Chains A and B, each alone.
Chain A
Amino acid sequence: MGEMISHLTLGFGVALTLQNIALCFVGCLVGTLIGVLPGVGPIATIAMLLPITFGLDPVGALIMLAGIYYGAQYGGSTTAILVNIPGEATSVVTTLDGHQMAKQGRAGVALGTAALGSFFAGCVATLVIAALGAPLTKLALLFGPAEYFSLMVMGLCFAVVLARGSILKAFCMIMLGLLLSTVGTDLETGQERMTFGFPPLSDGIDFAVLAMGVFGFAEVLRNLESPETRDVVRTKIGRLLPNWEDIKQSINPVLRGTTIGAILGILPGNGAVLGPFASYTVEKKLAKDPSRFGRGAIEGVAGPESANNAGAQTAFIPLLTLGIPPNAVMALMVGAMTIHGIIPGPQVMTKNPELFWGMIASMWIGNLMLLVINLPLVGVWVKLLQVPYRLMFPAILIFCCIGIYSVNNQPVDVAFTALFGLFGYLLIKLGFEPAPMLLGFVLGKLMEEKLRQALIISRGSFYTFIDYQNRPISLGLLIVSIIVLVIALLPAMSKKRDEVFTE
């Protein structure tokens, strides 16, 4: 404990210089901005801003870049709530209840809850990193391909719970997501799969392209169809901030979400993606009246948003303590460190203590700044909803187009997004929900990869997944998946046979 305090003192000593506070602020502001813009992710922005940081000292540069990263996580939920476009996989869940709240005139409350929940989660996650970072590293190393596969299976079981209507249709969507994730060059063999021989498809479908198509564009198409529903957003503007009643409702979801997100964030290979989904599942199952979910339940925003932010922070653990980046943004942070002459590895903590603890301290400062930046902005965002829809959707469209273009600098991505917009519109017409499909898509790639890795290592034996002596974690996760699935299906089963497929 004493050691931790002395470490944190060192860290705050580094982070609280005027220059570093300013850099942290700039990072958070830029991050919030790009997070709000659909499509422009932290990856493109951090990459573009790398040269600007050349002149800075490494600590300052990393503090700024880290600010962009969690600022973007934060800003992403704003777009999800306001216009139903998830900028990243982690904010897909926020669209479910967040956008519904906005439609009911509770956009301010949703945004405020997300901001406060994220701030709390960020504070806790910072403490977790400071106190338990080193020992928790072992968790990342316990997860081999088999454990990972089982974790993904568990994630897919969560997706069933996400469904609002027909469970059969949710299964269809998950499978469709898995199917879409197999498009592109096969990682193991380099063979092209289902690409129509079309080169831009050889790297598979980009998440941003799919999400922007089936959520963003399809939502615009749906809104254009029924002028009545879209104007509801404009006519009613409720409170700007959550009141005591809202906060009371959110406290427990925030606590649970933070715990779930913090644990999953540590896992390599983007375990953080699962955090919000897991949190949503838990909240929906614990709720007295699960039918409120998907219709603007505040718990469905508070929990997942906390999980999202907690995971975004603890994702730094494998990077800072092992030197191994768990996802693409962290890989970029490695690049940033490397450019500044600090090659991340297991020894960063001992070799560069001021960098290590300075960054951790700056995370807390960054979270505070995000709150300071975002709470006043809530009013601005809500005002934006008053823009008439006939101007709003062309604006959404141009932002989306530029955003998608900038993901890979590939114009053809924009055309693909339009195609997925059509696809998403068709799905809406057929009564499907896109959220389970996106989860299936995100998990599908990892799942196939890990399945094949595990089977190559086990020489083709499925026993590796339930080997209780060597891989108890994998077995445990599979048992949890079965339980989740049974809980999800049970209410449906217990109803009359005729109602099996409608919840």
Chain B
Amino acid sequence: MSLNKIERAQGLRIRSQQDLAAGLFIIALGLLAIFLSWNLPMGSLRQIGAGMLPKSIASICIGLGLLLALSSLRYNGDELSGWSWRGVIFVLGGAVLFGLTIRGFEIGSLKVPQLGLLISGPLVVLISGLAAEDKKWKELIIFAVVMTLFCALLFKYALSLPIPLAPWLLGI
């Protein structure tokens, strides 16, 4: 949004929280990329090295981020809006849990057994379902079971994808 005369006279100050945060975010990502690709060789034009493109693109990102951050001092824009942790935790948590349990997982001493779709399926539906404010327990549980059976039939049998159902129980 352009500024009127009075606003212009007020000099530089943060006029768009969103753009400022966005600019800083891009700068941070660019710096992270440069840090991660620090040891990769640039190479020459004749034989471009593995590091040339990541570093150049990251530098452009930083430049654009700076522009964006500076423009937030000059032009009016949106404020930052709230952040819903409820969705993030339940929805993304459900998905991560699915990934952990579908084939089992092992990091160091942490061991998750291979549970297969018959367990992972209801888990993801139930846990993500908690994110809805208007959830109904009974409905959700029935839905989780029905969806899982439907998916098992659809993916495992109709499309014959190699997805484990319940290796600890059925052996498949």
Contact = CB atoms under 8 A, between A and B. Distances in A.
Interface string A28-49: 0010011001001000110011
Given A430-B22, A431-B22, A432-B22, A401 B155 contact: no
A459 interface: yes
B167 interface: no
Interface in B123-172: 124-126, 128-129, 131-136, 139-140, 143-144, 147-148, 151, 154-155, 159-163
Given A221-B91, A224-B91, A398 B132 contact: no
B165 to A, nearest CB: 12
Interface in B55-84: 57-58, 60-61, 64-65, 67-68, 71, 75, 77-78, 80-84
A45 B83 CA distance: 38
Contacts of A168: 64, 67-68, 71
Contacts of A414: 95-96, 98-99, 102
Contacts of B26: 172, 176
B96 to A, nearest CB: 5
A108 to B, nearest CB: 25
A399 B151 contact: yes
Nearest to B29: A176
Contacts of B67: 168
Interface stretch (A82-90, A190-198, A286-294, A303-311): A190-198
Contact of A390 (B3, B49, B84, B134): B134
A401 B54 contact: no
Nearest to A396: B128
B21 to A, nearest CB: 6
Given A171-B64, A399-B151, A418 B96 contact: yes
A425 B86 CA distance: 13
Given A172-B22, A193-B54, A194-B33, A415 B95 contact: yes
A421 B95 contact: yes
Q: Which of B77, B81, B83, B95 has the most CB of A within 10 A?
A: B95
A382 B143 CA distance: 20
Chain A contact surface mostly: helix
A390 B135 contact: yes
A1 interface: no
Given A175-B57, A179-B58, A455-B48, A418 B161 contact: no
B12 to A, nearest CB: 14
Contact of A398 (B30, B65, B125): B125
Contacts of B81: 429
A221 B22 contact: no
Contacts of B125: 394-395, 397-398
Nearest to B86: A224
Interface residues of A, number: 78
B69 to A, nearest CB: 11
B99 A186 contact: no
Q: Which of B1, B51, B78, B87 has the most CB of A within 10 A?
A: B87
A397 B159 contact: no
Contacts of B21: 430
Nearest to B102: A411
B147 A411 contact: no
Contacts of A459: 46
Nearest to A458: B46
B25 A221 contact: no
B88 A194 contact: no
A402 B151 contact: yes
A175 B93 CA distance: 29
A426 B25 contact: yes
B40 A390 contact: no
A186 B50 contact: yes
A176 B26 CA distance: 8
Interface stretch (A118-126, A338-346, A471-479, A495-503): A495-503
Given A401-B98, A405-B99, A394 B129 contact: yes
B9 interface: no
A415 B80 contact: no
Contacts of A40: 155, 159, 161
Given A401-B99, A501-B75, A452 B48 contact: yes
A465 interface: no
A460 B64 contact: no
A268 to B, nearest CB: 22
A409 interface: yes
A200 to B, nearest CB: 11
A413 interface: yes
A455 B80 contact: no
A235 to B, nearest CB: 15
A34 B159 contact: yes
B143 A394 contact: yes
A498 B2 contact: yes
Contacts of B102: 401, 405, 411, 414
A417 B120 CA distance: 16
Contacts of B129: 390-391, 394
A397 B128 contact: yes
B45 interface: yes
Nearest to B61: A175
A412 interface: yes
Nearest to B46: A460
Q: Which of A413, A421, A499 has the most CB of B within 10 A?
A: A421
A194 B37 CA distance: 6
A290 B172 CA distance: 54
13 contacts: A49-B160, A176-B26, A189-B50, A224-B84, A225-B84, A227-B134, A391-B143, A397-B128, A414-B102, A421-B91, A422-B88, A431-B19, A452-B48
Given A394-B140, A455-B45, 12 more contacts: A48-B162, A172-B68, A196-B36, A220-B87, A220-B91, A390-B129, A390-B132, A397-B125, A398-B124, A401-B98, A406-B155, A412-B99
The 6 lowest CB-CB distance pairs between A and B, nearest first, are A460-B46, A414-B99, A498-B2, A390-B132, A430-B22, A186-B50
